[in-house]
């Protein structure tokens, strides 16, 4: 497509004032002219640049962390929202030809914004329009495109069956692309493991535009994209998943206990029993700083349960294994599995309502936030827990201070740590997600809250896994390895690589070197190839 002199001048001026990136205007112009040559002019209808009035709307449509929505955040030079695979091929070809990096976005929940932020010239490939779901009830499988959300997947399954489910997360607006490729877990993990444990095929595009399934990509690459971060190896277009059986009736409850209601001893006891419960029982804890009835600050522990069975059986189990919690039948609600997915979504901040709430792609309670993760292998003492509460009370922390304790055990103990890249299996009794959110604008507010969570993370060092101190790739944390020394990218990457993947990091590097030796698909914490 030829561009007039006037429009080119306008485009140049917009780029000069818009983008803080160092790309030459020529490379951007060449990229945009390349797209219709590789596809046809219709691709420009799904391509947005800063000169489009809807550019910011499209960019911000799935940004979940407002830390990366400020005017100073580096912006893409273009956003492509393909409606078919050949448009993705054209985008990959043209970006590679003209020296632009690609960031692939499916839901925008990545904690450090790596799917839509880069410090080098880049374009966003937003797969929001590629989200078809095809459920095969007879064979208990489904194909789901990368741009679909967890909520859309759950809803699609429920339209075909009330006794089939899938062990993914509880936040409906998370895109399956990033969720699955980093592992992905939810309330069914103790019964069925991670989402990535239940993937049986996939379609991936390489940097030459070739599309391969499990057979043609080979078992090494298929292994790597199920928990190793798919964005390191190519563009995963779709996943074939194995659906799991769920009973017609499940039971949920959420009970709240403050420190004045013995929360410390209950959390302490939970550490000894939650990972030993039968596989069908999942009880996680949410710890928040809160105000008690007398107006004083306290810590509230929310014990939230999914049980794959009826309430009578659950109450009997709780009386035998965790009587201290004092759960009664009045605390319990029976429902089907898809209703429990909506229940956990509401528990996580989504509005209550009909099942169609699961189709909402935008998490309405967006905030600035920073998060970190840990794995616990031995119960933390009462004194250690009390030290956490003290840090929750620090004056410079607002009310959006949360720790999630997610129990392991069950199926997680029986899957080899080498089965997929996600290695944190037997020996871990629970995982911790630390989260601090704030609504204040500005760098000072950001630094204050980020520094607080770093201090909490430092305090937790004696209580969590060691050599390495493990972390979860889907809770990506750019603090890891930030101050590490190393003469090569591989040496730096091995710092966070060992935390995320343990011994599986070496195999991931080998796969990367084989399938993407030029390192076209990369971000700040992508798997590096071995360079000669």
The span from the CA of 156 to the CA of 167, in Å, is: 14
DSSP run (H or E) holding 444: helix 443-459
Question: What gap in Å lies between CA 272 and CA 280, rounded to an integer?
Answer: 17
Question: Does the annotation count 475 as an active-site position?
Answer: yes
CA-based nearest residue to 267, from 280, 276, 256: 256
Candidates 93, 116, 475, 500; catalytic one:
475
CA 458, CA 436: separation in Å to the nearest integer? Answer: 15
Name residue 298's beta-bridge partners.
290
Residues 432, 409: Cα–Cα separation, whole Å = 14
Who contacts 19 (Cβ-Cβ below 8 Å, separation ≥6)? 50, 74, 75, 77
Angstrom distance (rounded) from CA 91 to CA 98: 11
Contacts of 523 (CB under 8 A, 6+ apart): 103, 114, 118, 231, 232
What separation in angstroms does the CA of 255 have from each of 172, 287, 299, 321, 347? 23, 12, 14, 16, 11
Residue reference for tokens 């459920």: 135
- 211 three-class SS: strand
Residue in 151, 239, 155 with CA at minimum distance from that of residue 201:
239
Whether a cis peptide bond, with omega within 30° of 0, leads into 415 is no
Going by the DSSP 8-state scheme, the letter that residue 77 receives in this structure is: S
β strands within 276-400, DSSP E: 281-291, 297-307, 333-335, 368-376
Tell me which residues are annotated as active site.
475
């Amino acid at each position: 497509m030829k561009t007039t002199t006037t429009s080119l001048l306008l485009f140049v001026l917009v780029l000069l004032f818009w983008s803080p990136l160092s790309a030459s205007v020529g490379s951007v112009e060449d990229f945009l002219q390349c797209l219709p040559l590789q596809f046809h002019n219709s691709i420009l209808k799904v391509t947005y640049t800063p000169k489009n009035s809807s550019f910011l709307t499209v960019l911000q449509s799935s940004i979940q962390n407002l830390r990366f929505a400020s005017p100073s955040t580096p912006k893409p030079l273009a956003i492509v929202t393909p409606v078919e695979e050949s448009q993705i091929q054209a985008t990959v070809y043209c970006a590679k030809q003209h020296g632009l990096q690609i960031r692939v976005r499916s839901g925008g929940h990545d904690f450090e914004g790596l799917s839509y932020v880069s410090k080098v010239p880049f374009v966003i490939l937003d797969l929001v329009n590629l989200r078809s779901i095809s459920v095969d009830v007879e064979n208990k499988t489904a194909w789901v495109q990368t741009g679909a959300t967890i909520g859309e997947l759950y809803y699609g399954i429920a339209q075909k069956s009330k006794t089939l489910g899938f062990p993914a997360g509880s936040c409906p607006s998370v895109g399956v692309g990033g969720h699955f490729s980093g592992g992905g877990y939810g309330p069914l993990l103790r019964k069925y493991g991670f989402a990535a444990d239940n993937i049986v095929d996939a379609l991936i595009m390489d940097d030459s535009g070739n599309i391969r399934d499990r057979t043609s990509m080979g078992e090494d690459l298929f292994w790597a994209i199920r928990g190793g971060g798919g964005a390191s190896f190519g563009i995963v277009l779709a996943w074939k998943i194995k659906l799991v059986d769920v009973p017609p009736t499940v039971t949920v409850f959420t009970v709240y206990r403050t420190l004045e209601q013995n929360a410390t001893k209950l959390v302490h006891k939970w550490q000894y029993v939650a990972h030993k419960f039968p596989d069908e029982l999942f009880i996680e804890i949410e710890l928040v700083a809160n105000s008690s009835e007398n107006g004083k600050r306290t810590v509230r522990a929310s014990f939230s349960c999914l049980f794959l069975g009826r309430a009578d059986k659950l109450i009997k189990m709780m009386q035998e294994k965790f009587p201290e919690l004092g759960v009664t039948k009045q605390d319990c609600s029976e429902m089907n599995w898809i209703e429990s997915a909506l229940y956990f979504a509401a528990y996580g901040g989504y509005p209550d309502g009909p099942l169609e709430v699961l189709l909402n792609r935008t998490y309405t309670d967006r905030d600035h936030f920073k998060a970190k993760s840990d794995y616990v292998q031995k119960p933390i003492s009462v004194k250690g827990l009390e030290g956490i509460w003290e840090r929750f009370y620090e004056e410079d922390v607002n009310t959006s201070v949360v720790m999630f304790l997610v129990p392991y055990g069950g199926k997680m103990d029986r899957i080899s740590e080498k089965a997929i890249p996600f290695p944190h299996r037997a020996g871990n009794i629970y995982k911790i997600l630390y989260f601090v959110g704030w609504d204040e604008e500005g760098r000072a507010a950001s630094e204050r809250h980020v520094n607080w969570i770093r201090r909490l993370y430092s305090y937790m060092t004696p209580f969590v896994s060691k050599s390495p101190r493990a972390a979860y790739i889907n809770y990506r944390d750019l603090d890891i390895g930030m101050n590490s020394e190393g003469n090569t990218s591989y040496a730096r990457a091995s710092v966070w690589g060992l935390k995320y993947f343990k011994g599986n990091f070496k195999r991931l590097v080998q796969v990367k070197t084989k399938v993407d030796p030029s390192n076209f698909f990369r971000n700040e914490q992508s798997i590096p190839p071995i360079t000669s």
